[in-house]
Structure 1
Amino acid sequence: MESRDIQIEKFNEFVPENDFDFDFKKAHSKGYSSSEENITLKYLNLQNKYNRALSLFLKDELSIEQLDNTLKNLDVISVPKTSFTNINSTESYYQNISYLSSKYMYLRNNIRLERLKEADVELLKTFDLENRTEKEKIMEMISRTYVDVLSVEFDNQKNENYKVVYNNNGKETVNNRTIVFWLSYQEEFDDSGNYVDQGKEKEKRKILQKLTTEYSLLFSQELNCTINIFVHDNSF
């Protein structure tokens, strides 16, 4: 487990403002955080527990392994997870905190614990995934809450549908209730920093864009909600 300071430091540095709609005051009033204004270790630890359970739910519901195998067969090179202290980008932050069973893909949405009922958080605190009955309870809770927990809802736009930008270039603009995954891969460079085969990389990018469009649709059908997968190369 990383130190308290480094966890909070990386959160503050790499969670973007575009979808930063946490309500720490509400989290504090429910006992999920020790501060009304800032992120705390207590909040992050509970968030981590939800993230872990959510990843198991997504593994059961989505064709993640199928996508990974397809990428592997196309010789797509995954980006290794960095250590927490070496996180240096938004991509590496969300990849590092991911429990998703994929070498390429990770969840980009934030987890807003304050939207959970107290009983749901109590379940999070004590659940044992090795216990079949408890796992069934936690999976039911995740299936009931994940869309609300992952959606962007700023105070002045609650109960409205609007667009959210998930990156700085404005290309990843989706509805506020969309589940967003980022897919990271490595392009191949030689020792001088030049492409080994630039034409091959351009073709690979086209294939990945087509593939993620297809799997965005498939995942949306499997989960019965809107899902978008966006491609990120190793430029970060």
Structure 2
Amino acid sequence: MLAGKIALITGAGSGIGRAACQILSREGAQIIAADQNESNAAQTIELLSGSHHLSVSMDVSNSSTISQALSSIQSDVSAPPNVLVNCAGITRDEFFLKMSEKQFQEVFDVNLKGTFLVSQAVCRNLVEAKLSGSIINIASIVGRTGNMGQANYAATKAGVEAFTKSVAQELAGFSIRVNTIIPGFIDTPMTSTVPDKVKQKFQHLIPLKRFGKPEEIAEVISFLASDRSSYVTGTSILVTGGLAT
């Protein structure tokens, strides 16, 4: 389904990013696993079959490290990535009245600014090479519903969805599709620190009565990365176990 695709996945060292690498690789894509912690990205690559995959160090909040990573990819692969999955994300949870400017800014820099910087760099390369592509951004149900202690995270994820809709309109003329996936509550390292009582509360609200698995998000990523979704752009796909916004 993805033969001939070169897929750059940020936040590839764990969670949804790692699962995306595994599923897209299974479907035939060449994987470039990017993470601020390159050893984690390298561990992801070790889980994949084949020897044509790469791992790179990338701080998505820093444009210079993005440029360096893309230059390295270009020299190794001789073509720009035509699939980008923006999975890199962090939380710095705190109640609003106690939240510091640093806690707000750090989440903004990675989740929203990082999505902008990596998308812009990849799309510039695609436009210059006159290649089509698919950009898949990962938002969150919290960006629509809000959540106590996550004013910073929710704001960035709402921003990712609005960003996607705008950029999709601009890039359609270049045959570059841009879509958002909105996961619900997923079993990842990000949710592992949530107290069990809070998890049980959220599970009660989910019609399927469980948290999702990273690979269940990755399967939807695979569809959006493929030509099977060739008429899908500017769209947000909810993968929430039935949890409504």
Same fold (TM over 0.5): no
Compare CA radii of gyration and give the structure with the larger one.
Answer: 1
**TM-score normalised by length of structure 1:** 0.27
TM-score when normalising by structure 2: 0.26
* Higher fraction of strand: 2
